Amino acid sequence: MLELLPKVAGRGARPRVLCLGAHADDLEIGCAGSLALLLRRFPTARVHWVVLSGQAQRAAEARRAAADVLRGAVRPQVSVEAFRDGRFPADWSALKDFFETLKVNAPPDLIFTHHGADAHQDHRLVNEMTWSTFRDHLILEYEIPKYDGDLGRPGFYVPLSAALARRKVARLMRHFHSQRQRRWFTPETFMGLMRMRGVECNAPGGFAEAFYARKAILDLSAAR
């Protein structure tokens, strides 16, 4: 297999990573394992972690979880906004204004965002805003299991070790007490999804996170 790396590999190993989640726990479910591996490979990566909704308990959970996931990162930027959970389409204009502010700093090398075909309206709108704001970037769309049964056939995988998969799930259970009454929010759900994706990509450790990559470039111009 060819190893596909972001174009940042030759830029002093300081990739800029933008992580976008509609709700507290979305990023931890969708891409926390992959981000942990990226930070292990690029310890000085610059991470901007954005959670777009969160009031009271959910906002506190989001901040605690982000601090845990990003422990060891160099001055990560964490933003927890207060858009209305479940009402993102009604807040389209304000969300668009917020997304425009994300372009003020240097452009990210890699963006994690929601899958465009996600059944949740907030998730779909975050995806739409991501693509309308960042049009020439490596964007990986993560998946969230839910009652709607909207899991598809992703084509981009990040293999995880069993130990990393277990740490990811332990964090979810530790930080998001507000969600633990939901019948789908269980260790078995998250381990099962990562195990299934691990099978699909023949992951050496048996587990993986999966993404949709609508557009990616493999630049071989510098190859010898």
Sheet containing 110-114: give its strands across.
77-80, 46-51, 16-21, 110-114, 138-142, 207-212, 156-160
For the domain made up of 15-212, the CATH class stated in words is alpha beta
The tens digit of pLDDT for each residue in 168-217 reads 999 999 999 999 999 999 999 999 999 999 999 999 999 999 999 998 88
Give the 3-state secondary structure of residue 130: helix
The tens digit of pLDDT for each residue in 81-129 reads 999 999 999 999 999 999 999 998 778 999 999 999 999 999 999 999 9
- Beta-carbon count within 10 A of 220 CB: 7
Alpha-carbon distance 130 to 115, whole Å? 10
Alpha-carbon distance 2 to 224, whole Å? 15
- The DSSP line for 3-34 is PP--GGGGTTT--EEEEEESSTTHHHHHTHHH
Kindly give the interhelix angle for 121-133 and 92-101, rounded to the nearest 10 degrees. Answer: 40
Q: What is the pLDDT of residue 223?
A: 55
pLDDT at 138 over 80: yes
Closest CA to 81 of 62, 67, 65: 62
**Among all chains, which residue has been given the structure tokens 């452009």?**
107
End-to-end CA distance of the chain: 18
- Beta-carbon count within 10 A of 22 CB: 29
Q: What is the pLDDT of residue 5?
A: 53
Band (pLDDT 50/70/90 cuts) for residue 2 is very low
For the chain, the domains span 15-212
The mean-pLDDT minimum among 11-20, 71-80, 109-118, 186-195 falls in 11-20
Task: Tell me the percentage of the chain whose pLDDT exceeds 90.
Answer: 85
pLDDT at 51 over 70: yes
> Please, what is the Cα angle at 73 between 76 and 5, to 5 degrees?
100
Q: What residue type is assigned to position 133 of the chain? A: T
pLDDT at 7 over 60: no
How far does CA 103 lie from the centroid of its chain?
18
- Check residues 34 and 5 and name the one with the higher pLDDT: 34
Band (pLDDT 50/70/90 cuts) for residue 1 is very low
Q: What is the pLDDT of residue 105?
A: 78
> Which residues are within 8 A (CB) of 43 and not within 5 positions of it... i.e. 6 or more apart?
72, 73, 74
The model's pTM is 0.93
Q: What is the pLDDT of residue 166?
A: 98
Q: Which residues of 162-197 are buried (b: 16+ CB within 10 A; e: fewer)?
A: eebbbbbbebbeebbeebeeeeebeeebbbebbbeb
